[in-house]
Structure formats: C-alpha cells, structure tokens
Structure 1
Amino acid sequence: MKNALLFAAALTAALAFPSVLVAQNASNFTCALAIPLPVASGNVQVSFTPMIGNFLPGAVPAPVSTCGGAGTRGSAWYSFVASNTSHWIRTEGGDLDESSIEVFSGTCGTLTNILCVPGNSPIPEVTGLVPGQTYYLRVLTTNPFFCGSEQCFLNLAVVSDPLNDECVGALELPVTPSTDRVAPAVEISTLGATQSQPGCAIAGAANDDVWYRFIATSTTHFFPTQLLSGGAITLQGFSGTCGNLTNVFCNTDVATGLTVGQPYYLRAYSTSTDVAVSSRGLIGVFEPRPERCMCRGHSH
C-alpha cells in the first residue's frame, strides 16, 4: 500500500511537468540497467524522465561515489548519447538537498567519473564530451528507507545550449487569436543562455537571455507568462532588425501601438542576478479579446 501511495503521489507531481514520461523506474539501480535519456537539440527538454527513489533498493554505491559518501543510498542509473561537446543535465522535483549526481564516461565495467555534483549544488554544464559517445548518469538519493513523500522524487532530462541564444536565432511564436481561450503553451528556458545586452528592468540581471519573434496581427498584443521553476521571467520587446533593434516595452505583459504585419522580437531572461539561476516557464502571444457589446437589443 505504501508503494502504491508513493507512486500515486509521484504521478500527481509528474503531471505538473509538460512532456513527462511516467514510469515506476526501480529497475535501473545498476549501470547495466541504465535507462536511456533523449537528448534535446536545444535547451527545452524532449521529455522528463522521473526518478522515484522510494522504489530503489538501498545499498552502498558501486562504484564508490566520489561526492555522495559511502553510506547506504539509492542509486538510479541513466545513459545518454552526446550530440554535442557539451550538454546540460536538467533536474526538476522535490527536495534534492541530499541527492548527488554523477556523470561517467566509459563502459559499465570501466567507468570514469567526469562530473560530480554534491547535494544542494547547482549542476554545471557537462563539457569535454565526444559526440556519438554514450555517457552514464547516476543519481544518488538518501537512504530509500528514509525518503519522505517528495524527498526522493525528481525529473531528469538532458538538453543542449539554447538554439535562440542570440537575436538572429529567434524562434517563431504563434499568435493566439482573440477567439481562443487558452493558457500560454510554448515552453521557454534560459538554461545555458548568455547575455546579449544589459537588462532593461533590474541592474545586473539579463545574464541568460533567449530570443523569440512574432508577426503582429493586432495593434495590441498580450504576453502572459507562467513560471514553472527558477527565477522570475522578464520580457522585453523590440521592433526593427537584429542589428538595429528599438525597445518597444520592458517588463510588462502588454504592448500597444504595434503595426499589423510587422515582425517584433521578444527577449526573455531570468530576473535573478545569480548566474546559477535560470528560468523555465510558458509564454504566449495573444490578440486582445473583442469587447462585449452591451447595446440594447444585443444579447452578447
């Protein structure tokens, strides 16, 4: 019953993440049983793969961990095939303070540790990779017997540097018509992004901006955002071309005075001044809703 309740809780948590692969993945407690992770070409994951530490058998890590201690832990193994010389390991989930993450090269019988991230530490970019080569990822949780309801649950993904780190690589955003009533649905991430220009709202921020583009279909557009994790998202809008941009708005969710048919650029970045903090969220471009007619004789 306890495992059933834990899995139900993990399933509920997983539903909070777009593109989550849900599995009771207790079978991957050795390197030979590593679960393959898809690698995203950009910095938004193909999907998240959940790790449910409550289902892992407790044992001394093998090989011995260089950053997680030699006590009884839960070990979950994953693998990925590098497509670039560097990648990012994205984690989302509950209390990860006691979980460490390691990356290995080699084969299961002869592993070489190339990255060790102790618990409660930001995960840096994994560099020095060889495209086409398989790498192994181990997550060491606390002792599974002492896991709380969220302490040993997290989502994992492997991503690359952002494709839209600069204005010239801006990704196209669709415009949602005024008749549609939907929430923002395009996932954005500033993980791995660099600074293109100074921030427009908070001094010292904007160290991780990414770029988007849309074609105005109205003189007014709204830009709702939903934060999924990380630092708050700042939006800045521009007219013009990438080599000659003019600020249109900053740190607001509405722009007026736009020219229908003209392209505009959106720059999104984490408001945090901490370089280790990135933002993950949802964004959309919306037309204004039509005004309701309150005239006599009209029912709408």
Structure 2
Amino acid sequence: MAYGNVVTAGLPSVITTALTLSSSDNSLASGGGVVTDEGGAEVTARGICWLPNNATPTTANPKTTDGDRSGAFSSAVTGLLNGTTYYFRAYATNAYGTAYGPYIPLTTKVVPTLSTNTPSISTDRPGVASAGGNITNDGGANITSRGVCWSSTNSSPTIADAHSSDGTGAGNFSSILTGLDASKKYYVRAYATNSAGLAYGNVVTAGLPSVITTALTLSSSDNSLASGGGVVTDEGGAEVTARGICWLPNNATPTTANPKTTDGDRSGAFSSAVTGLLNGTTYYFRAYATNAYGTAYGPYIPLTTKVVPTLSTNTPSISADQPGIVFAGGKITNDGGAGITEKGVCWSSTNSSPTIADSHSSDGSGSGDFTSTLTGLVATKMYYIRAYAKNSAGISYGNITTPALPSVTTGDVTLSGTDISMATGGGNVTNEGGLEVSARGICWSSSTSAPTITNSSFTKDYSRGGIFTSSLTGLKKGNTYYVRAYATNPLGTIYGNVVMFVIP
C-alpha cells in the first residue's frame, strides 16, 4: 500500500480594489475587494483594513466586515482624518487563516488655509463694516462656502455666531458685516468649507483709529490761548466716539489723562481751542481719537508760549514847584518775544503792591526807557509805585519803589559879632525824596555829638527843598556845640553832616 504527499487546502486569494474619497465628507471613503479563491475552506469574513502612514495594516487595525465567501465586495470606510495618507488592503479569512491583497494608498484632503482681512467701519453707515479673507489653499477640494463670522462676546467666533456667506472658490473675498453696534468691540474671523470640513482664519479685531496732529498757533492777544486740531484719517474698526488734542508742559507723551479738549466724534478734520497755558513754557500737543478698541494718538507738536516783559521801576521824584505831581517811569529790558502794547506806572497810598486797578499812567508802547507823570497825589502821603508793561503774554510789573527820605547837608556856622549867645547856620535839602518836605532846619547841642530834634535845640525853617538859613540862640561861652541840619517828609526825618564849633 502506498501514499501520496500530504497537502492542506490553502489560504484564500483576495485582491484590493480602488479606494475613492467621499466628495462631501473627507472622513469617508468607499472601496472593497474580490475574493478570487476561497482556498481550502469557506471564507467566513472579508473586508478591507487600513492604517495611516503604514503599508501593512491587518485585521487588528481598523477594518470593515463585508460578508463572506468568494466574489467581489464593497466596503464603506469611516473615521478618516484630514490630510493623512492611509494604506488600505483587502482581506479574506477561512479556517486556515487570513490572506491579504496588495495595499493601496489614499490621502485624504485638508481643510482650506485662509487668513482674515482687518475689518474697517463704514464712515457713512454706522453699524456696517467691511472685512473678508484670503483662501490661499483649498486643501485639494473645492471651496463650497466662505465668509466671515463675528461676535462682540465670543473671542473665537464661529458660524454659530453672526456670519456672512460670500460664495465659493479660493482666493480673496470681501464680506459686509451688518447689524453691528458701532460703539462695541468685535472679534472677526474668516471661514471656508470644503469636503474636508470647515476651517477658520486668524481672529482679528478692528484696529485703533488713525489720527494726525495739525499745527498749533498761539493767540496774538492772549498768551494762555492757542488753536490747533487734528484729522481722524481712519476710524479703525469702530466708530470714533471722542477726539481732540491733549498736552503737557515739558513732556512729549501727553495722554487723555492730561489736559485735553473734546472736539466731536467720527472721522475727518477737527479744530481745538486750548486754554490755560502758562507763560514761557514749552508744551507738547498731540491729537487723539478714541473708539471701542482704545485711544490712538497722532505725532506730537511742540509749542512754546511767550513770556511777559521784564522791566524795572525808576525811583520817583516829587516836583519841586508843583506839589502833588511826581515823576517816575521804568525800563523794559525784555519784551518777552512779543511787542509791548502798553506801558506805564501805577501807584497807591494804600496798596503796597499797586496794579493797573489802582491809579496808573499810560505811556505808549515799545521797549526801553520811558517816563511817567503821576498826578493828583497828596504831597504829604507816602505812595507805593511800580512800572507795568503788557504784551500778548499778559501784564508784568517792575519792582515796587516808595519815595525815599530827603537828602540834606549842613552848612557852616558863623558866630555873631555882637552877641556870643547867637550864631547863624543852615543847610540844603538837595532832594525831597519823592514826598514833600514838611519841615527843615538845624538842631544843636553841647551835650551830644549827634543832636536831633528830640534831644536838642532846633529851628524850623519853612518846608520843601533848597537852601535855608537858621539862627542858633542860647549859646554859652566856653561850650563846644555840635550842629546838623535836618529835613522831614512823611517817611521820617533825615539829618545832615555834623558841624562842630566852640564859643570862646
């Protein structure tokens, strides 16, 4: 008895048929295979299996189960990821094991790549903005919808929020955003859909406004005032709700927290009136514009205010022949960068810092020396006097002067040739000091070398300025006498030099 070789029925034979992606859903594909030979046992399971980025998927990996036995079969693949290369192969299983067909690669499509354009608000239609996007890559599939979505509360808006629908296809597109509250801040991003799914561009917010600062001009009549303004060239992504200029002295970065004007809203040119400037100060001005996204500033422009004049007051002198009239004046050494429009002297007997609210003269315009005549004075009173000058920066005053004590000298003494108890002396009031001299004479004493009208004998020889003569009486033989002249005005009494003589 003889036996042939032992054989076992083999594994099935199977081939893989082409795979096709769904045109509407990038996660789906259709394919299948053909069991060409069941081998030595009935095929109990068949289908396709797959893996991403791997050429040897098995039934331990994702797979379909599509009936049994021999013949062609179809498979529905699900769960595919975008932009991924998968390797598919058919399989067939019988009692001897599982056989695989050759692998077929399939790459899924990707969602589009796109960016969002910066939105801008309509200048003539509040609540309407324009935006859009640019689809730079369709992902290998047709763009079936595109547009822009926006929200004032969701910082990552989606098509579940307000959105536009702006046709199909790749490339640039424009969108109109309507129904916006122009005073609110919005988050905006473009979207696009293909069979791989929905993609979004970057989230943008409409920008700050754009504003420039226009030239500043000082008032020609008031140094505390200036005019200027700016131009809002672009409102950005929201309506400009406030605009104006702000400023600081000696600082190039003023903000709206500093002094500012408020000059309307929206875009375009505006004018500003600046007040409260100080003399002789460099200010830095810049325009500002505020919308829902914040405040933008234009470039700064410096402006230096003028200064009031610099001047001094001349010492007044009383008229020798016209009581009640004093001559004074001043000298303007610096006009402060602006023409002197008025100058003069002001005076008062009660206000120790006289102003032009008190009595004053008006002595023309221009810098340099000037002379003033003060009238209506009471010659026995003390007056406070100071010069003033005006320019566009304002009014300034010189130093305050008051009439001085008189100036007096003592004359020689001549003994009487017939009476040793008598002598002749006198003095000279060389300057009344700006106030009328009310008393003058000489005083003498043998007991003090500094005689005064309170501790010595004295004469009273009329009043006013000039030379005067006095008679000394009551002199005694053998005494040494000290003599000096005196003069009194409302400021007090002044004494001249001491002259000494001896009665032999």
- What TM-score do you get using the length of structure 2 for normalisation? 0.16
- TM-score normalized with structure 1 length: 0.24
The structure richer in helix per residue is: 1
Q: Rg bigger for which structure? A: 2
